[in-house]
Chains A and B, each alone.
Chain A
Amino acid sequence: MTVSDNRPKSLGHDEPKTFIISGNHAAAYAAKMARVEVVAAYPITPSTGCIEKVSDFVDGGTMGANYIKVESEHSAAAALIGASATGARTFSSTSAHGLLYMAELVWWAALARLPTVMSIVNRELAPAWSIWAQTQDSMGLRDSGCLQYYCKNNQEVYDSVIMAYKISEHEHVYMPSLVCQDAFILSHTNAPVDMPAQKDLDDFLPAYEPKHFKLDPKDPVTHSSLAYPEHYRQKRMNIMESTHRAKQIIKDVCADYKKRFGKFHGDLLETYGIDKKTKHIIISHSSIAEEIEVSVDMLKNKGYDVGLIRVRVLRPFPDEELRELCKNIETIHFIERAPSYGFKGIIAIDTMAALFEGDARPKAFHHIEGLSGMDVTAEYAADLIEKDLETLK
């Protein structure tokens, strides 16, 4: 292995390899192979497996990152901000209450335009204590400016962490990324994950060289100081523009990754079983969506004209893409884990808003399912949709 620059080492990946690993470990491998320079993290179930794996890599000498074992998630995010602002590529992993505890600094990282990447294991919030899957923890940070990816399997977790660095560090983006996976269903379940050779990954993801700013005594800047309304407004409008621009950059990066490594999970969204004539569309996310692919096959066998859209990226939201896919449909069926209390599912709310800017007005069916990691089987989901469709008769 030859590395032309002085990036942290990542040993043991001279050739493409397949590992049978958990979603947590997939994220850890991705951080290692992305040659992350600074890790700051605090343990919380169920994301702990990721930082334990990072610890093994660092102490085992195969990962050259500086791992700051902070005393809280708030400090984890603050340390990422300090390190990222000093020009380092940074990584953390957390879940549920950890993410909420660091929420102030997650917003800070976004509004400071720092391209840190975190692996989020989506978990329920207490009370009551629950450690199982639900996506409200990160979806509650929907408006922070962070780019948010919801993965359906471990391969996608690995690929998405790598791609997230490329996207977040793009000079037209400079926003942080949350790469999300479902608690236990992915975080603790082993599945095959293909990884490219390190040198090929290095070509895809060069060292982080911030062009917007860096804390450097040779070129001093005061960062995040008081701004009067006109400057503050400009900074925030820049974020609006950058996060919109990120849509095309996500598409480009996913296409490039597919070309180089043969892996593609959709860019902003992924479709399954959809053609131009599809009348009924199911919209879902995360690992539930992979299960619903089977439901689509079952329903098609029964003669129903259904297809699936998996919203892979929640922010920036694929509004135009959804309008295009839904312009001729009759019904839309949301199956999602995260409600906005007092209204509907979070993805449903955003999707309906997106469709309102077009002409299509499909009849909508809303299902909040899989709370606290409850199993949503293919049969169960197919049954829900079938019942929806029977009401039309």
Chain B
Amino acid sequence: MVTTKEILRLPEPILAGHAACAGCSSSLGLRYALKALGEDVIMSVPACCTSVWQGPYPKSSISVPVLNIAFAAAASAASGISGALQAKGNKDTTVLAWAGDGGSVDIGLAAISGAAERNDNMIYVCYSNESYSNTGVQKSGATPPGARTTTTPLGRVGSPKDISLIMWTHNLPYVATACTSYPRDFITKLQKAQTMDGFKFIYLLAPCCVGWKFPAEKTIEIGKLAVESGAHILWEAVNGDIKLSNLSKKYEDPAKRKPLAEYLKDQGRYKGIGEDMIKAYQTYIDHQWSIITSLAKISQ
């Protein structure tokens, strides 16, 4: 695994003066991603927070070339970029599709599924703030049970889609989950993905202080609690073989997890949400653990 010192020494790919909110973890996530992948990268970015915080024309805060594209089209535009590079005999440049959870889990799902099925050569990172944060925090397909958004003012009913497992069923060379609070884990996963041909998918949990309503200085802490409470499971699958990442391994034992309430207590989106909804969230988390650990056992 890459060391913190090594990360700090890497060139800064996100330039000063970008327009992200204070405490934004998606800008942090892209900073790590581009540190990991280097300068020979072309990005495809659909409508999402990153399409705003990169800054307005004629300037940009992202130091690699970026194609901004329509909401549902991050993966398909990246397929085109990748196809053009292949047609021109370029085997070196990395194509990075960088999209939010709305653009991936919901409106862009068919395009990701298509690109994955074709095994088009790219790394697709879905950075998830578990809502449509850019348009003012509406419910997305990745919003967890009970969470209050502007379209679920009484709390989200039902379960989110697990895009990572959906991608895993596509028989891909690499699928992983990560969290912006653990840069070494995320960077190591990206660098592993970069060595592989084909479609690589990473789901990056990116806590959003505006959408989740916690103080900006708690972004890293909240992300860590997501993992420590077991709400977000870190795992990776090389050629389909699922393995829990070291950071999540010990939380396979529910007794070692921090209580879900501790993860939610500083999040305004859960303020006043009833016990039944919190219980539904816990049931969802337990169900996810049983799926991932079962799949990890099969993979052994």
Contacts and interface: CB of A to CB of B under 8 A. Distances in A.
Interface string B119-156: 01000000000000000000000000000000000000
Nearest to B120: A68
Contacts of A66: 83-84, 86-87
Contacts of A78: 69-70, 72-73, 76-77, 79-80, 111
A84 B62 CA distance: 21
A57 interface: no
B87 A222 contact: no
A105 B73 contact: yes
B57 A215 contact: no
A69 B57 contact: no
Residue among A40, A65, A216, A223 with the highest chain B CB neighbour number at 10 A: A223
B76 A75 contact: yes
B17 interface: no
Interface in A6-23: 6, 8
The interface centre, meaning the residue of B70, B77, B87, B113 with most chain A CB atoms within 10 A of its CB, is B87
B36 to A, nearest CB: 15
B111 A226 contact: no
Contacts of A85: 67, 80-81
Interface residues of A, number: 45
Contacts of B60: 221-222, 225
Interface string B91-119: 00100000000000000001101110110
A216 to B, nearest CB: 6
Nearest to A217: B40
A72 interface: yes
A290 to B, nearest CB: 36
B80 A83 contact: yes
A72 B67 contact: no
Contacts of B93: 217
B68 interface: yes
B52 interface: yes
Contacts of B68: 222-225
Contacts of B79: 40, 68, 70, 75, 78-79, 82
Interface in A140-199: none
Contacts of B84: 37-38, 66, 82-84, 86-88, 90
Q: Output the residue of A74, A79, A222, A227 with the most chain B CB within 10 A.
A: A222
Interface of A: 6, 8, 37-38, 40, 64-66, 68-72, 74-76, 78-88, 90, 104-105, 108, 215-217, 219-228, 231
Interface of B: 39-42, 44, 51-52, 54-58, 60, 62-70, 72-73, 75-89, 93, 110-111, 113-115, 117-118, 120
